[in-house]
Amino acid sequence: MICPQCQAMNEQDSMSCGDCGNSLTADQHIPWSSASQYPRTPAEQYVPDNRAGQYIPSAQARTREFRLDMRRLSRVEQVAGGATLIVLISLFLPWFGFNELGTEISVSATAVDGYVVIVVLLAVLMAGYLLWRSGWEEFPVSLPITHETLLLVASGLQFLLVTIAFLDVPDSGLSREFGAYLALIASVAAFGPAVIPAIARGRRRDPSDDRLAQDQVEQERR
């Protein structure tokens, strides 16, 4: 019979469990025949027992659920995500201004250049993607490219567009203000940690691969 407390197998006429000492009375024991060979529900797992030749239910399998946990992200991902949020906020701060003879004018990047909207969308998508990724122990979506490549391309495009907007002063009489410098620094902070591992991987390339490529080129020339 099966002990209802620890699920250990005991002799049919045992009065108590040999493993945990639980009392095996007639109204408590689970006979071998009650252990079903098939699960009752899809979420229930069954484990084999060599002596009975049957299966007994184990603890219910943990369901996959979304739970936000920033510790699942690497340090590079955390820095890139935080810097991207700063870029997003800085796009709505004063970028260019004019202050002379008591007249003060300031405009944001979104009010000057239309293509800055692309930076806004890109920053929202990057931040949302990293938040979504932090909610799963195993990412449920299969991407056509690696996560590192996606992060590198997105942060690199963000840095390029922010740099163009920073250099593109709409009027010679305007000066750059706090928002422009903050966005440029934040875009560098998001792109730098992502590009450094890629450069390091390129330096660690196997020299034999280069020799093999050279041999193939020489064979084609012949």
Which token pair is 124? 């929202």
Domain final position from 9, 30, 63: 63
37 and 87 together in one domain: no
Are 99 and 27 part of one and the same domain?
no
Give the end of a domain, one of 9, 32, 63: 63
The dihedral over CA atoms of 11, 12, 16, 18, expressed in degrees to the nearest 10, equals 10
Query: Is 161 in the same domain as 189?
Result: yes
Q: Which domain holds residue 12?
A: 1-63
Q: Domain check: are 144 and 211 in the same one? A: yes
Does 209 share its domain with 112? yes
**Phi and psi, residue 146, nearest 5°:** -70, 155
Note the pLDDT of residue 98. Answer: 83
With tokens 């239309």, the residue in question is 114
185/113 same-domain check: yes
Structural domains in the chain (count): 2
Query: Secondary structure of the chain in the HEC alphabet?
Result: CECCCCCCECCCCCCECCCCCCECCCCCCECHHHCCCCCCCCCCCEEEECCCCEEEECCCCCCCCCCCCHHHCCHHHHHHHHHHHHHHHHCCCEEEEEEECCEEEEEEHHHHCCCHHHHHHHHHHHHHHHHHHHCCCCCCCCCCCCHHHHHHHHHHHHHHHHHHHHHCCCCCCCEECHHHHHHHHHHHHHHHHHHHHHHHHHHCCCHHHHHHHHHHHHHHHC
* 119 and 207 fall within a common domain: yes
Question: Would you say residue 222 lies in a domain?
Answer: no
Q: What is the pLDDT of residue 36?
A: 47
Same domain for 125 and 200: yes
**pLDDT tens, the chain, 222 aa long:** 777 777 777 777 777 787 777 777 654 444 444 444 455 555 545 445 444 444 444 444 444 677 888 888 888 889 999 999 999 999 999 999 887 766 778 888 888 878 889 999 999 999 999 988 888 877 777 878 888 888 899 999 999 999 999 998 887 778 889 999 999 999 999 998 888 776 766 665 555 555 555 665 566 555
**In a shared domain, residues 55 and 76:** no
Say yes or no: 129 and 202 in one domain. Answer: yes
One domain for residues 95 and 58: no
Q: Which of 13, 47, 63 is the last residue of a domain?
A: 63
pTM summary value: 0.59
Assess if residue 30 is contained within a domain. yes
